[in-house]
Structure 1
Amino acid sequence: MKKYIYALFFGATSLISAQENTENKWSGSRPDGHAPISVMGDHTHGKGEIMFSYRYMYMNMEDLNRGSDNVPFSNALRPNDVYMVTPTKMPMQMHMLGMMYAPSDKITLMAMVNYLSSEMDHITAMGGTFTTESSGFGDTKLAAMYKFFNKNKQQLHAQVGLSIPTGSIDEEDVTPASAPNEVILPYPMQIGSGTWDAELALTYLKQWNVLSFGTQARTTLRLGENDNDYRMGNRYSLNNWLAIKASDWLSFSGRIEVGAIDKIEGANPVLSPMMVITADTANSGMTYANAGLGFNLYAFKGSFKNVRLGFEAALPLFQNMNGVQLRNKETLTIGLQYAL
């Protein structure tokens, strides 16, 4: 997976010499001119164009995987394992505000802020239950995209970005063992990464009369170690989507994503890895495959011209996890985009 994604990045250099064509270009002024709403950095803009966007994402994790096998909660608890507590469910909600601006036809700049809220339900080895919560503004994303070419209804562009660690890594809540005091929460319940992260992507787009195709290789590389003596795992993904233009205002899409997440390196010394599975870094990292179905609505004229509404529902096809972790379930994404 990693070698394939890196090969896509470096292989793009062979296409940079392609000449710009003023006719027969790939067009964003179609309902399928943007990727499924869950895909970021999928398109660029012409000189002087600005786009504002809002996305809402709901992601649910529930039940346990050991490797790729679904296991009961008792499998992770004493006396079957070393842990005193296991999570049973973790719904997460994210609100994302973004802006894109193109100072030239070749370069598009992008900024995004987000707000996250998570809940995690737990069960103890003694049969007790409790819930912890965290919420706040996450890491801020800044990026620049460079368009190599747009000709023959095809486009290739690269993204170089930076994730700024504005999200908290010190979220706390009360647990039965700590009551009435708050204690620091495990890694999945933290809002940010705590590190400056490089975000790189390469996207290829192709359009036909009623069909469009896109593929995007993306990686997030963690730089250094955060103030709590760990860093989250690097991320690698390859997204492929196909969309059908049903009319001038409606398209339907299907998407398949394969990816990998590395283990957490280091450890927060405050967390006890034998207390709960989410505090043990051995239970982090995975390989996975997801599939999504969605639609785009695009206003090409009238009072709402250039307003786009996108929706996608995604489910996992495969997930092979290090150690024992919550299973990924459904992910729902809905978003509005407005270009001017």
Structure 2
Amino acid sequence: MKTYFSALFLVATIAFYAQETNNQSLKWSAGRPDGHAPISVMGDHMHGKGEWMFSYRYMHMNMDELRDGTDDATTADALADYMVTPTTMPMNMHMLGTMYAPSDKVTLMVMFNYLSMEMDHLTRMGGTFTTETSGLGDINVSLMYRFFNKNRHSLHGQIGISIPTGSVTESDVTPASAPNETELPYPMQIGSGTLDPSLALTYLGQGETVSWGSQLKSVFRFGENDREYRYGNRYSWNNWLAIKAANWISFSARLEGLIVGELEGSDPNLNPMMVITADTNNSGGTFLNGGLGFNIYVPSGSLKNLRLGFELASPVLQDLSGIQLKNKETLTFGVQYSL
């Protein structure tokens, strides 16, 4: 936590220093391909008074193989203590977003998402089975406030809330419950079940052909949901650099530090001795993620202000609390249109 707040102070200090010492009179501009962050970064930019933006993002994340702390683990390691272990878990998310700026200082944002997940399992007896869930997730609403936009440097803050519209009681049939459905473990649930406030601070800088940015973001969990638990807090520090190769395309590199807290409480319908994903001791971790991508921007014509973004990301380092599936590649594609 101390490192996180030190990073917050560092970002604010750099941004303030840049504002005071740069003699250029130009403002940071979103009207170029690198005017937005890599497509996986949310709340990275703001809009001018009266502007709208509509967006769609598709994200595919794959989890595969097992890890305990910083060491790889095997299914035999998991099955020594549990009756069942997951082996793979692909997740697909579709996100719809709307942004509107009632003033040059304030931009409002709302995001909806639809998730679908599968988890393959191996039992101690050598059997296999798959569980599936899908549905609408939690709705995110936020307000962004611009502190300054001067000399090609910009700083804005964000405050938001996640509304628990996603289910925390998803069920499916397993060999132990057949022919009836049984409630699925925590990673297969679609929502958090709690009102989750969030805070973020984003700094942006821009040169003639290069842009860069840094975003600190926190998601806080309070209380318990209807199943008597809550997810852990999340703290992320995203940093990116983009090169404008032409007035219609840019290429980016991103590095993210992420801390995910452990689950607190427990669902009384889950047996923590049955499968590793039902044991709250196997949750949370620390990650260093890297990503490469590109943005395409239409600068003129009937499709002016249309954007396409793509990024492929993967963990560079991951230290998991307990034995869990490893995070593998994450693919994000998005379309954005401003008017």
Q: TM-score, normalised by structure 1?
A: 0.96
The superposition leaves residues 95-144 of structure 1 with CA deviations (integer Å, 9 ceiling, x where unpaired) of 00000000000000000000000000000000000000000000000000
The superposition leaves residues 54-91 of structure 1 with CA deviations (integer Å, 9 ceiling, x where unpaired) of 000000000000111111111110xx3x2000000000
When the two structures are aligned, how many residues end up with a matched partner?
335
Residues 12 and 203 of structure 2 are in contact (CA less than 8 Å); yes or no, is this contact kept in structure 1? no
Q: Which residue of 2 aligns with 1:292?
A: 291
- Distance (whole Å) between structure 2 residues aligned to residue 142 and residue 11 of structure 1: 27
Q: 2:48 aligns with which of 46, 49, 52?
A: 46
1:122-137 → structure 2 map (5 Å cutoff): 122-137=121-136
Instruction: Give the letter aligned to residue 310 of structure 1.
Output: G
Residues 5 and 218 of structure 1 are in contact (CA less than 8 Å); yes or no, is this contact kept in structure 2? no
Residues 118 and 130 of structure 2 are in contact (CA less than 8 Å); yes or no, is this contact kept in structure 1? yes
Q: Which residue of 2 aligns with 1:32?
A: 34
Q: Which residue of 1 aligns with 2:95?
A: 96
Residues 116 and 135 of structure 2 are in contact (CA less than 8 Å); yes or no, is this contact kept in structure 1? yes
Q: Which residue of 2 aligns with 1:148?
A: 147
Residues 34 and 243 of structure 2 are in contact (CA less than 8 Å); yes or no, is this contact kept in structure 1? yes
Instruction: Give the letter aligned to residue 307 of structure 2.
Output: R
Residues 24 and 151 of structure 2 are in contact (CA less than 8 Å); yes or no, is this contact kept in structure 1? no
Q: Which residue of 2 aligns with 1:158?
A: 157
> In angstroms, what is the RMSD of aligned CA positions?
1.7
Residues 174 and 183 of structure 1 are in contact (CA less than 8 Å); yes or no, is this contact kept in structure 2? yes
**How far does residue 8 in structure 1 lie from its aligned partner after superposition?**
4.8
Residues 11 and 214 of structure 2 are in contact (CA less than 8 Å); yes or no, is this contact kept in structure 1? no
Q: Which residue of 2 aligns with 1:63?
A: 65
Change (3 A) 1:201 1:162: same
Query: 5+ unaligned residues in a row in structure 1: which ranges?
Result: none
1:140-289 → structure 2 map (5 Å cutoff): 140-289=139-288
- Distance (whole Å) between structure 2 residues aligned to residue 306 and residue 313 of structure 1: 23
- Distance (whole Å) between structure 2 residues aligned to residue 279 and residue 248 of structure 1: 50
Instruction: Give the letter aligned to residue 303 of structure 1.
Output: S
- Distance (whole Å) between structure 1 residues aligned to residue 24 and residue 171 of structure 2: 55
The superposition leaves residues 164-223 of structure 1 with CA deviations (integer Å, 9 ceiling, x where unpaired) of 000000000000000000000000000000000011110000000100000000110012
- Distance (whole Å) between structure 2 residues aligned to residue 212 and residue 46 of structure 1: 20
Residues 223 and 230 of structure 2 are in contact (CA less than 8 Å); yes or no, is this contact kept in structure 1? yes
**How far does residue 9 in structure 1 lie from its aligned partner after superposition?**
4.6
**How far does residue 7 in structure 1 lie from its aligned partner after superposition?**
4.0
- Distance (whole Å) between structure 2 residues aligned to residue 216 and residue 181 of structure 1: 46
**How far does residue 4 in structure 1 lie from its aligned partner after superposition?**
3.1
**How far does residue 288 in structure 1 lie from its aligned partner after superposition?**
0.5
- Distance (whole Å) between structure 2 residues aligned to residue 186 and residue 106 of structure 1: 43
Secondary structure in 1 matching 2:337? strand
- Distance (whole Å) between structure 2 residues aligned to residue 16 and residue 227 of structure 1: 44
Residues 24 and 152 of structure 2 are in contact (CA less than 8 Å); yes or no, is this contact kept in structure 1? no
- Distance (whole Å) between structure 2 residues aligned to residue 156 and residue 114 of structure 1: 27
Residues 26 and 152 of structure 1 are in contact (CA less than 8 Å); yes or no, is this contact kept in structure 2? yes
Change (3 A) 1:212 1:22: closer
Residues 286 and 322 of structure 1 are in contact (CA less than 8 Å); yes or no, is this contact kept in structure 2? yes
Residues 249 and 300 of structure 1 are in contact (CA less than 8 Å); yes or no, is this contact kept in structure 2? yes
Residues 196 and 219 of structure 2 are in contact (CA less than 8 Å); yes or no, is this contact kept in structure 1? yes
- Distance (whole Å) between structure 2 residues aligned to residue 321 and residue 309 of structure 1: 33
Secondary structure in 2 matching 1:32? helix
- Distance (whole Å) between structure 1 residues aligned to residue 8 and residue 245 of structure 2: 33
Instruction: Give the letter aligned to residue 321 of structure 2.
Output: N
- Distance (whole Å) between structure 1 residues aligned to residue 255 and residue 327 of structure 2: 15
Query: 5+ unaligned residues in a row in structure 2: which ranges?
Result: none
Q: TM-score, normalised by structure 2?
A: 0.96
Identical counterparts, % of pairs: 63
- Distance (whole Å) between structure 2 residues aligned to residue 142 and residue 10 of structure 1: 25
Instruction: Give the letter aligned to residue 34 of structure 2.
Output: D
Residues 8 and 202 of structure 1 are in contact (CA less than 8 Å); yes or no, is this contact kept in structure 2? no
